[in-house]
Amino acid sequence: MIDPTLIPIAASDLVAARSQMAFTLGFHIILASLGVGFPAVILIANYIGLRRNDDVALGLAERWSKVAAITFAVGAVTGTVLSFEFGLLWPEFTARYGDVFGVLFAIEGIFFFLEAIFITIYIFGWKRLSGWAHFWTGVPVVICGIGGAFSVVAVNSWMNQPQGYELGPDGTATNVDISQVIFNEAVPYQVPHMILAAYLVTCFLVASVYAVGMLRGRRDRHHRIGLLIPLTVGCILAPIQFAVGDTAARQIASDQPIKFASMECVRETSTDVTEYIFGRCTDEGVKGGIAIPGFDSFLVGFSTDTEVIGYDTVPQEDQPRNKTLLHWAFDSMVGVGSALIALGIWFGFVWWRRRDIPKTKWFLRAVSVSGIATIVALESGWIVTEVGRQPWIVYEEFRVEDAVTDAGGIWYTFIGAVLLYTLLGIAAIVVLRSMARRWREADSAEGRELEVPYGPVEKPPAIGGTRG
């Protein structure tokens, strides 16, 4: 029997462990997204530069590869800390299910090391390899980034839709079918949704940097190409992501109805369910927000007669705790996605008419904000995924409170993680700003000749003549 005096301590440890995991994951996921999406954007610029003999595009690719090296290095540190947290904060989870998801993490580790090898070859290959030979060394970086993302998100998908194993008498997973684990029922929608999100974060974040520069008067071709390449890719992917997200939401309504009901503040099972945009989820219903009658049922089954299960169909202890946070996160993600599509339509229409970006400053302001907006959507998406699964760490099988460590001092490790990640973030920003400042000074130097990454390198004359 549990000592009642230990309950506050146990609850405090659970809050500390969840807070540390949420903070480190929320920090790392931004860097991980850049690790997935940035190599592809770099290669697109590299390809354009080689195909069109465009020195500006080649120069951008070279500079972006150096930025990618910084974010990759910081992401390696934050990811390493995160991997240790699984065993240190959630020992019962790894003890019970380690044989299930351990293979996927091993695969992710292989992809990570391969990506590190090839990104090193790519960065040091400038001026050392011929143009197309160097380009192809970057292709494995893109593949490894996608492969690593697939492996990690497949674990999270399995936590939402567990399958491919049996539970032994002691509660430990046995008879693992790794193919069913890797390709669980949530993978078809959750993995593409995350990979597309990584690309959108990268594209709009990079585009926003050049939009800010253009707002400050830097209207040269360097900034124009730097804006056009990622913005074009991002605007193409935004509606695709919206369609994937819509499919994912309907699948969640079927596979995890309590999560969906909490996302949409649906308390009682019924048809013709009202869709609420924001608002507070209370025991009496939704307070505030914008109500659209019947639209929630229509979104689930394309008909207002579609029945939507309410979260009151399960006991309160089996429901997500903070439904308002979950609801706001879901609406924020959808709202940002809709705004990105609108931005893409604006950009596409003007480009179709004039073959140029919109001249108005409001367009550049919108692009400048889009980078931060995609990060908000990314974090909101993970809140939906993780908070929506509560109180389960493995859906409807194993509770988070049963997985947490019974060791003390978690608040101290949480504070230590915050300090470490803060220092890493500051260091990365300082280094990147320093690199950007040097590049701006080089670009503005009078009489500067454009440095072509694949151009011939002249050897300096020998000092003192030749030796006979």
What is the secondary structure of 14-27 as a DSSP string?
Answer: HHHHHHHHHHHHHH
Average pLDDT, the chain: 88
pLDDT > 70 in the chain, percent: 93
Answer yes or no: is 301 within a domain: yes
Q: What is the DSSP string of 136-198?
A: HHHHHHHHHHHHHHHHHHHHHHHHHS--S-EE-TTS-EES--HHHHHT-TTHHHHHHHHHHHH
Give the domain range for residue 331.
203-405
- Collapse the DSSP code of 54 into the 3-class scheme (helix H, G, I; strand E, B; otherwise coil) and give the result: coil
Residue 239 to residues 38, 83, 204, 246, 372, Cα–Cα distance (Å): 20, 33, 14, 10, 19
In-domain check, residue 41 = no
Beta strand spans in 255-334 (E): 275-277, 280-282, 285-287, 290-292
CB distance 398 to 93 below 8 Å:
yes
* Threshold 0.85, pTM exceeds: yes
pLDDT above 90 covers what percent of the chain?
A: 56
Count how many domains the chain has.
1
Asked if the structure places residue 419 within a domain, the reply is no
Torsion of CA 300, 303, 307, 310, to 10 degrees: 50
Q: Over 50: is that where the pLDDT of 34 sits?
A: yes
> In this structure, are residues 96 and 398 in contact, taking their beta carbons and an 8 Å threshold?
yes
Residues 322 and 384 sit within 8 Å (Cβ to Cβ): no
Structure tokens at 317: 């202890």
Residue 279 lies in a domain: yes
Is 275 part of any domain?
yes
CB-based contacts of 436, cutoff 8 Å, min separation 6? none
CA distance 467 to 148: 55
Answer for the pair 410, 89: CB distance below 8 angstroms, yes or no: yes
The pair of three-digit structure tokens given for residue 327, joined into one six-digit string: 């609801």
Q: Per the domain annotation, does 284 fall within a domain?
A: yes
Residue 21 included in any domain: no
- Spatial contact of 326 and 263, defined as CB atoms under 8 Å apart: yes
Q: What is the mean pLDDT of residues 64-83?
A: 89
pLDDT at residue 23 greater than cutoff 70:
yes
Give the integer Cα–Cα distance in Å for 157 and 363.
37
CA distances from 39 to 109, 265, 346, 398 (A): 18, 39, 27, 37
Give residue for tokens 């996608």. Answer: 146
pLDDT of residue 449: 47
Q: pLDDT tens for residues 180-236?
A: 999 999 999 999 999 999 999 999 999 999 999 999 888 888 889 999 999 999 999
Helix (H) or strand (E) holding 341: helix 323-354
Q: Read off the pLDDT band of 24 (50, 70, 90).
A: very high
* pLDDT at residue 328 greater than cutoff 70: yes
Average pLDDT on 371-393 reads 93
Are 336 and 381 within 8 A, CB to CB? no
Any idea which residue has 């929320």 for tokens?
Answer: 26
pLDDT value at position 288?
Answer: 84
**Cβ–Cβ < 8 Å for 228, 351:** no
pLDDT attached to residue 454: 65
The 10 Å Cβ neighbour count of residue 302 is: 10
Q: Confirm if 206 and 226 have CB atoms less than 8 A apart.
A: yes
Q: Cis omega (within 30 of 0) on the bond before 391?
A: yes
